[in-house]
Amino acid sequence: MPKVALTTLGCKVNQVETEIMEGLFRNRGYEIVDFSEPADFYIINTCSVTHLGERKSRQLIRRANRLNDNAIIAVTGCYAQIASDEISKIEGVRVVIGTKQRDKIVDLVEKAAREDGLFNEVNDVMHMHEFEDIPLYGTPHRTRAFLKIQDGCCNFCSYCIIPYTRGPIRSRKLESIKTAVDQLVEENFHEIVFTGIHLGAYGRDFKGENISLSDAVEICLANENLKRLRLGSLESIEISPRLLELVKTHKRFTKHLHLPLQAGSDEILKAMNRHYTTEEFARLIENIRREVPDIAISTDIIVGFPGETDELFQKSLEFAKSMGFMKMHVFPYSKRAGTPAAKMTNQIDEAVKKQRVHLMQKMAEQSAVEFYQRFLGRELEVLFEQEQDGYMEGLTSNYIRVYIKNDGEITSGDIRLVKLVKLFKDGILGELI
């Protein structure tokens, strides 16, 4: 039985796509092995959001070649899409396929095994207008499954390369979402997370059909055996009244939204080509919390964007603090060739970026503690996922990680009522009710 090893860099969408490719190989009789082991085929799903992601991608290619210099190495993903010629020159690479045609991955590597030469299948993704709907052939055993329902982006933020690597908006058909949800529930997944590159734009490409993300949510929640539905990253301005009403009224629709802020000053938001002001963002968050008081709101923020003075960074820091996020992902700005921001003057020194990341993360940690403290003494339902170091751990609907000392009473997939007792690790220690 031939062996294949797959690895992923980057976002949840990339991880989902790797799992889909893994299923294609498993369905064709391949043995899936860890990427650190010798294999006949290595599949590397790359990221291009930052220079670090690209460097790690090259390192993984070279590592695979060292593990077995006779193996077929296939490179896919965003970095492959924008730099296929560069990747093709790395020793050992035989197949390059970018961000589409991954349904052909098994055929391509088998062809490379039979024939000599390089197989570079990357072409212009900007002309792709149909969602690449690849069947699910089994997924890794977890309680939570990530389901990709959308691809592509039309925001063109000035710092971001993704619209050029992913192409225009493409949405999965509602019938296909229902089929996938039913299958995942049948396979005993308890929580489904919708993912996409520009998730809030779901349905915009269905011209004349008036379909939105709310329709996808409703068709998922229609499966009464699903215990929870969670959404991936959304733009705050894309939270429609209908979607917010679903969050408010459906118990199985989690009370957690990830809404990227990216910057806390209007000057930098404008330079980033973000389509809101800090006042509009704050008003949207206030409305969401008024409708769903216990909701958790997490975010992304970039520091060190070109032109971000010390004063503007301080403004961003104070604004982010005032938002009371339960979790923040903080990134230093990464210059991406081919984006408008890369050509901007007043680029920020790397040492300054590093210092600002530290300050923003320190504030983020305190913000998380303050959020958790609001729920001490409360009783919330927890979906337990795994055991680690003697504790069962899982998530509340509003994304608080809860730990219970395991005495064998709880198993993976259980939803139990828990009293939240005290801060513990990266969450809260609880007691079963």
Shared-domain flag, residues 59 and 117 = yes
Q: What's residue 136's pLDDT?
A: 77
Return the pLDDT at 138: 66
Rounded to an integer, the average pLDDT of 371-388 is 96
At residue 90, the pLDDT reads 93
CATH at residue 318: 3.30.750.200
pLDDT tier at 130, thresholds 50, 70, 90: confident
Number of domains into which the chain is organized? 4
- What is the per-residue pLDDT across 255-273, written as a single tens digit (0 to 9) for each? 999 999 999 999 999 999 9
**What is the C-alpha separation between 312 and 25, in angstroms, rounded?**
50
pLDDT in tens, 288-340: 999 999 999 999 999 999 999 999 999 999 999 999 999 999 999 999 989 99
Question: Beta strands of 158-245 (E only): which ranges?
Answer: 170-171, 191-196, 228-231
Based on the fold, state whether residues 115 and 169 are members of the same structural domain: no
Say whether both 104 and 155 belong to one domain. Answer: no
Judge if 335 and 366 occupy the same domain. yes
Give the model confidence (pLDDT) of 201-259 as tens digits: 999 999 889 999 999 999 999 999 999 999 999 999 999 999 999 999 999 999 999 99
Mean pLDDT (the chain) is: 94
Do 264 and 370 belong to one domain? yes
Domain match, 264 and 198 both: no
Q: pLDDT per residue over 70-103, tens digit each?
A: 999 999 999 999 999 999 999 999 999 988 888 9
DSSP code per residue over 107-131: HHHHHHHHS-S-EE----GGG--S-
State yes or no: pLDDT of 123 exceeds 90. Answer: no
Cα dihedral 129→135→141→145 (10° resolution): 40
Q: Domain end: 220, 254, 288, which one?
A: 254
Residues 245 and 157 in one domain: yes
Residues 22 and 119 in one domain: yes
φ, ψ at 426 (rounded to 5°):
-100, 25
Q: Please indicate, yes or no, whether residues 336 and 347 belong to a single structural domain of this protein.
A: yes
Tokens of 93: 């690479």
At residue 52 the predicted structure's pLDDT band, cuts being 50, 70 and 90, is: confident
Residue 22: its pLDDT value, please? 93
| CATH number, residue 428 | 2.40.50
pLDDT at 141 over 70: no
Tokens of 374: 């609001």
> What is the pTM for the complete model shown?
0.91
- The answer to whether residue 111 scores a pLDDT higher than 80 is yes
CATH of the domain at 230: 3.30.750.210
The pLDDT score that the predictor gives to residue 157 is: 96
CA distance 373 to 421: 10
Tokens describing residue 179 = 């089929």
Quick one: what percent of the chain has pLDDT higher than 90? Answer: 84
Of 369, 367, 378, 370, whose CA–CA distance to 421 is shortest? 378
C-alpha distance from residue 314 to each of 116, 203, 298 (Å): 57, 38, 20
401 and 419 inside one domain = yes
Q: Which residues contact 304 (CB under 8 A, 6 or more apart)?
A: 313, 332, 333, 348, 352, 353, 356, 357
Average pLDDT over residues 29-47: 94
Which of the listed residues 225, 254, 283 is the one where a domain comes to its end? 254
| Same domain flag for 368 and 311 | yes
Which among 96, 123, 150 is the end of a domain?
123
- Is residue 387 located within the same domain as residue 304? no
CATH code assigned at 50: 3.40.50.12160
Q: What is the residue range of 76's domain?
A: 3-123
Q: What is the per-residue pLDDT for 320?
A: 98
Q: Is 279 helix (H, G, I), strand (E, B) or coil?
A: helix
